Amino acid sequence: MLLTVCVAKIHRATVTDANLNYQGSITIDKNILDTLGLFPSQIVQITNLSNGVLWRTYILAGPAGKGDICLNGPPARHFHKGDKVVILAEAWVTPEEAAKVHTKVAFVNDKNQIIKTTNKEKRSKTQHIL
Considering the candidates 22, 41, 50, 58, report the single residue annotated as catalytic.
Answer: 58
Q: Which candidate in 25, 41, 50, 124 is catalytic?
A: 25
Catalytic: 22? Answer: no
Helix, strand, coil: what percent of the chain each, to 5? 15, 45, 40
DSSP state of 106: E
Mark whether 124 is an active-site residue: no
Q: Could you list the active site residues?
A: 25, 58
